[in-house]
Amino acid sequence: MRARVVRAIAHASLGVFATCSIAIAGSNPFTAIGETFSDWKDRLFGKPRPVLEAPAEGTIALKPEHPTRLRIDKAAPERDFPKGKSRYRVIDLPEDFEHAAVRVQVTALPREKAFGHEVFKPFFYTLNADDSVRDTVEVKPLHLDIRPFRRTRLLGCATLDKVGRFAVATEPEVVGKSYESEVRDSIKAPTQGGFYYATDAVKIKLPFADTGELTLEVTKEPAAGKGC
């Protein structure tokens, strides 16, 4: 009987995470018709590649198809952007790209002196030669990726045009607000052993912070809007 209960719990856990993927996929548009969140995630983030570590300070050189992890912390510089004053990091590409796609992974980090985790809501600001802002691009939508024994993250992708240099920052107005995702409904179902299991409805809520950790990967694209 104990073995049956253990198998039932394991089956239920797998069902919860499967339901999570389905729920998220259903509320967000993807490139291909019928593409699920799992398909999209595998297409953009599924190929295992070594992750480079960005320097703690200064400009970050981002090579195409080389995922690079960076931190925007309290030591990062601040400046005024169209969306408001924010800490930021500057990204340099090896050349000017007519069209580019930037894949984004936002890691959920433990909150300081508080319970739970927080995330950074990224905006891209393409820069002119004098570092003035040309375009503002919000990375949206952000898709929740939550799995057992893995760090929770938000996944997103944005396309940029005529870009060789851009800044990663956030919007001060969102700091203190939260990313919210309806992951799954409550579940009640019998197990094969004749027992019932029940789970409550779960909503993931991650406060937005003015600092955070991101992994960026850029690809050169043949046309505008491609790559995501």
Q: What is the DSSP letter of 146?
A: -
Q: Please tell me the distance from the alpha carbon of residue 25 to that of residue 37, in angstroms, as a whole number.
A: 5
pLDDT score, position 46: 77
Average pLDDT over the chain reads 82
pLDDT one-digit tens code per residue, 113-171: 888 999 999 999 999 999 999 999 999 999 998 877 788 999 999 999 999 999 999 99
Amino acid at residue number 133: V
Phi, psi for residue 132 in degrees, rounded to 5:
-75, 155
pLDDT score, position 101: 97
pLDDT one-digit tens code per residue, 67-113: 999 999 999 999 999 999 999 999 999 999 999 999 999 999 999 88
Bigger pLDDT: 85 or 20?
Answer: 85
Q: Please tell me the distance from the alpha carbon of residue 33 to that of residue 227, in angstroms, as a whole number.
A: 15
Bigger pLDDT: 87 or 201?
Answer: 87
Bigger pLDDT: 120 or 184?
Answer: 120
Q: Please tell me the distance from the alpha carbon of residue 3 to that of residue 224, in angstroms, as a whole number.
A: 55
Task: Note whether 120 and 208 are within 8 A (CB).
Answer: yes
**pTM of the predicted model as reported, rounded to 2 decimal places:** 0.75
- pLDDT of residue 214 exceeding 50, the answer is yes
